[in-house]
Chain A
Amino acid sequence: MNNQLALALTFVKPAVPHQPVPADDSFPDSVFVEDLAVVCGDTVLVTRPSALSRRGEVSAILPVLEELKLRIVEMKDETAMLEGGDVLFTGREFFVGLSQRTNQRGAEILADTFKDFAVSTVPGNGSLHLKSFCSMGGPDLLVIGSSEHAQKALRTMQQLTDHHYDKLTVPDDCAANCLFVRPGGKGHALVLRSAEDYPESIKAFEKLKDYTLIPTSMSELNKVNGMLTCCSILVNRKLDV
């Protein structure tokens, strides 16, 4: 867990200055938030992971968030459970996967925290995180795995949304978890699993035009079911570092 946390930090710091997204840009400006926190705009919701063992991590990450000068909202409700891995922010709205690690109450608190956005719930898949089979691959581009539960979740999301998203279906669920960034505020770059990990899926990604693909090997993390986005919290914030 320390490893993971460290990873997150490395992402945060360098990534931030590179992402001065104009405020009126409706693209997924802030967010990929992993389990410990959900960041959107200048507000961060510090979550309550279901596993007691992980709650300690939260306190570890707080200082970093404070340093980012985010408005910090903490979940106080004892009954609430929420992990960032279940929260998919599309830039226009939130989807929250209800799972063993995220419950209705947690989602409500999320909705209360980010009132500007619709928060829709996606019935869960047991222990899987929502983002273990999908993620945003760019503005209005939803990358989704092709497993049955992934497709089911996709239909649910399509049903619930007012917006239209393009979708990119990739053969491997895990490969659907990628990380979209805009280095320097321009261009589209996608941090994704390397070809060694998922050779088929990378082909699907290669269809994307004007994207810079950044394959990353996650073989170590993969052993513990780690995902790309798990390692990062994306923050749209200029750092005065």
Chain B
Amino acid sequence: MTSEITEKDKVIQDGSNAEGTVVKDADTSESKASPGTLTETGRSTGTTGRGLSRLLPSWMRRSKHSSKPETVPLTKEQPGSTEDVAEDAVLLKTDGPDDVSAGEKAEKEKCARVDLPGAAPVKSKVEEPPTMGGEGSEQDSKDTEKTASHSSETRIQKRGSWREYKLWGRKTKEKDKEKNEDKEETTEEKPALEAKMDVQEVGKEEKRAQGLDLRKLIDDDLIEIIDDVSDSEEKPGEQERDEDKGIKDQVNPTGEKEASEHAKEETEQPAEKEQAGDATSGQGVEAREPTPAETPKGKQDEGSTAEQKKEGKEKQMPGRVARSVSRRSRHVSCKVALLDGTSFECLLEKNACGQALFDLVCQHVNILEKDYFGLLHKDEAGHKNWLDPAKEVKKQLLNPPWLFSFNVKFYPLDPAQLTENLTRYLLCLQLRDDVTRGRLPCSFVTLALLASYTLQAELGDWSPQEFEGNYATAFRLAPNQTHELEERAMELHRTHRGQKPAEADFHFLENAKKLSMYGVDLHHAKDSEGTDIMLGVCANGLLVYRDRLRINRFAWPKILKISYRRSHFYIKIRPGEFEHVESTIGFKLPSHRAAKRLWKVCVEHHTFFRMVEPEKIPRGRLLSLGSRFRFSGRTQAQTREASARIDRPAPLVRRASARVQPSMAGSTVRTYTAMSSDGGAATASRAFNTARAAQAPAMPTSDGEDDVFLTPPLPRRSGPGEGKATSEDQPKGVLFYTSGEQDDRAETDSSKTDSSSSDSESGAEHEPPRVQMRNIEGENIYIRHSKLMLEGLDKTDEDMARRKDSLSQLKRSFMEDTLPPRPNEWDKRLSVGSPGRPSPRISMHGSPLQSPLNFSFREAPEGAGQSGNGEAMTTEALTVTYQAPQADSEDGEPDVLMSAQTITSESVSSTTTTHITKTVKGGFSETRIQKKIVISGDSDTDHDQALVQALHEATVQHPGMAITRVVVHKETDVPASD
């Protein structure tokens, strides 16, 4: 019926007034239900029609007289001709009355009027404003809801066939993915339906007991998942289905027919959708038609739209027009808070599913083992919900600012089994957060131990020179961080000497996973006696806590069924050794949503941890009474299998810790900044950055870069490769990257960690893919003494400030230490603007190879910087390198120089020379940008600040690039030369 209405609308638009009127009446029968939903209706119409037509035969037999007429028209509708529809409508009109008692009829009509205005604003204006719509609608509109609901209920109760029908229509509608829900509709019908559902549930359970819903489980778990029927907030899809099923059960004894119907319907869906789309577009066009004269209806129309908005479908568009537009090409900006404290922004198509966004984020994070993660968003009440990847994002969020956080959703029981260190690193970040926020309680000793691993992972080996004072204070390590704890953590930190960051992470996880609350997702609830308890969902099952004490536990294998109804959550327990009867245990949750949330989490955890593969979404509605919600991701078993196949060089882990790095010891002094990156990486980063590009417009500055980028040899991601690509890129361009992550304590990294094979072979560069690792060697090279961090653009002011501080501090230490060794000619050169190949050693060659001499200090720019930028480039590492002269010598052999550009710019106190070279080595192209910044000033302090600024600028200018080293050369005056 709803569908008909829509059709009518169209018709009306076409211009048949009289018919339009008629239509209204016809609508009455059904339309009331969905006043607000015009658009939807329109779309769904097609669907309904088709579905119905096929179904007709069966329906007709079963249905009562009343239904017949309707059916017929519907069939006609299918053809799609507007005229037909109109006729049908007429027919309906006539027939309808017969069935219904006079009183009902009257009521219906009333409703119809009311609805019409809201429903089909356009037509009403044009055609029969005065007649029905005008009067009735305006007056009634106020009462619309009441009336509508009333009428609908009556109907439902009185005519079984109608009810069915209607539901059918609605279902389809919803299926069609129409965004607009009718709140009213839902609310109206619920009462009646729910009542029935109760009765039906009994029946359902019996069926289940019979084994209708068997699933494959790893063990012998059999869990039935039953959704609550009354889910007001949920997308109708789920609820309605439930309701439908229930009703059908009652109404139609012949299940078979229905089943077949379902099948048909399902098959038809795609087509339906298309139709729906068309309808929509058609409506969109209509929407523009409204003329000023229509005012009254226009208002109503708006009202209806408003309602729709409320319902959460299309919040943003005020009018229909807007809506239509939005449907087509609307992108919504999403912001995702990542685990390392940075955030990722992107534009997401408005209709995109959760999966699309999730994939984007994973790409950005460069994680392959993504099944353990998920996106959380907060609802209005501040409750966090997991974004369902299978559903459209917009259906799951209300307010347009789409904010998410990227979090661990399933805590692996044994993190050691994760394939990649990157995954473990992210898990660590999550756990650190859990610990500091108190979600993962642990004792003092454990806190200190975990903290010490954090220090080790972020700072590297403890050494008396580097770590002075309370360096642990810079880290957030515990919920209530005390000095005592920091002391203890630092004490333990010393004992971890020699552990690579990845190893430290590993140990961190080994300790964290033993904690009793590891991976337990807690939900407030009350037990049957009203006592406050907490329900904890974890990999093994459901835990019941009272205060901190565990008072019960239901392992997944013991649970037969989980369900929720309203705000109650139920589990049915498998009879055990000693009990012989299945028992159902109910818990009261604070709200319906909470119950649903808990239920979903349970379904997901059970599926992920206990099943071999996700359960298929139940297709036949008849057989599965529950929600259609199922966990759609991979199960742990699957994800393990998949990750076993991961074949990429270990991705770079960009650590995002605040580092406090004190001093540097350097001898020689040369100043230059080299930024290098592969073209590939750059591109990649760019791609990533697109979204954030806004923030980092810097790209332009590096004019030369663009060219460079175009040429990038490296294929960007593909399949497994993407991760690789990145990592590969990184290595080349920036040797130091890698180092950042894994071996911060660059000094001696034997490349055990991921990037393992690091020997300081420049040769590495030649071979792209594998090379990466070698490049990493570069890491070794640097000594991260002091780290200067340049921040990614994203960084917050604080960060920036902090870095600057550390930077200047560094500088200071530099100057003091450094100066003596050799002042250089940096000024000279720089000012000159070293052309094609500037003094070679310094810049390119030297850096990678020279490892011995240089101290590079790479800051893993604290996650912020890194994560902020694209993947590869993300991190802007500032390497402060003191090069010994010798280093340069190594590099003797240059790469093939493909292009070189030199750009010089001057400002008051500084001269910047940018030298961009593109070289090809071993089939690998590499772009390096060297910046020489000559700062002239009188006092040291000036220099420091200037340097800081210069570095910052450089970073900003080349967002895609990483700073591999910074060499500070201070000269009083005199030129030196290399």
Contact surface of A with B, Cβ cutoff 8 Å = 26, 41-43, 71, 93, 96, 104, 107-108, 111-121, 155, 159-162
Contacts and interface: CB of A to CB of B under 8 A. Distances in A.
A160 B443 contact: no
Nearest to A23: B449
A119 B578 contact: no
B446 interface: yes
Contacts of A115: 441-443, 446, 515
B443 A116 contact: yes
B445 A119 contact: no
Contacts of B546: 104, 121
A107 B549 contact: yes
A155 B578 contact: yes
Contact of A111 (B514, B548, B553, B578): B548
A116 B549 contact: no
A189 to B, nearest CB: 26
Interface in B489-514: 514
B443 A114 contact: yes
B549 A43 contact: no
Given A93-B516, A116-B514, A116-B515, A108 B548 contact: yes
Interface of B: 441-446, 514-516, 540, 546-553, 578
Nearest to B538: A162
Given A43-B445, A116-B442, 10 more contacts: A41-B443, A42-B445, A111-B548, A111-B549, A115-B515, A116-B514, A117-B516, A118-B516, A120-B551, A162-B540
21 contacts: A41-B445, A43-B443, A71-B444, A104-B546, A104-B547, A107-B549, A111-B547, A111-B548, A111-B549, A115-B443, A115-B515, A116-B442, A116-B446, A116-B514, A116-B516, A117-B516, A118-B516, A119-B548, A159-B553, A160-B552, A162-B540
Contacts of A120: 549-551, 553
A121 B540 contact: no
Contacts of A111: 547-549
B216 to A, nearest CB: 24
Contacts of B540: 162
A160 B546 CA distance: 13
Contacts of A104: 546-547, 549
Contacts of A117: 516
Nearest to B512: A116
Given A41-B445, A108-B547, A108-B548, A162 B578 contact: no
Contact of B551 (A41, A113, A121): A121
Contacts of A41: 443, 445
Of all A-B residue pairs in the complex, the 4 with the closest CB atoms, nearest first, are A118-B516, A111-B548, A115-B441, A120-B550
A159 B585 CA distance: 15
B443 to A, nearest CB: 5
Given A43-B443, A116-B442, A116-B446, A160 B514 contact: no
A108 B547 CA distance: 7
Contacts of B444: 43, 71
Contacts of A121: 546, 549-551
B443 A162 contact: no
A116 B444 CA distance: 9
A104 B547 CA distance: 9
Nearest to A113: B443
B552 A159 contact: yes
Please indicate which of the listed interface residues A108, A113, A120 has the most CB atoms of chain B within 10 Å of its own CB: A120
B213 to A, nearest CB: 26
Contacts of B515: 115-116
Nearest to B446: A116
Contacts of A93: 516
Contacts of B549: 96, 104, 107-108, 111, 119-121
Contacts of A116: 441-443, 445-446, 514-516
Please indicate which of the listed interface residues A43, A155, A159, A162 has the most CB atoms of chain B within 10 Å of its own CB: A162
A26 B511 CA distance: 11
Contacts of B547: 104, 108, 111
A119 B550 contact: yes
Nearest to B548: A111
A33 B435 CA distance: 28
Contacts of A43: 443-445
Nearest to A163: B540
A43 B446 CA distance: 12
A162 B548 contact: no
B442 A118 contact: no
A186 to B, nearest CB: 23
B346 to A, nearest CB: 39
A112 B548 contact: yes
A115 B442 CA distance: 5
A84 to B, nearest CB: 17
Contacts of A119: 516, 548-550
A88 to B, nearest CB: 14
B554 to A, nearest CB: 8
A117 B511 CA distance: 12
A224 B444 CA distance: 38
B529 to A, nearest CB: 14
A43 B443 CA distance: 9
Contacts of B446: 115-116
A207 B550 CA distance: 33
Contacts of A96: 549
Nearest to B447: A115
A162 B553 contact: yes
Contacts of A160: 550-553
A113 B951 CA distance: 49
Nearest to B544: A160
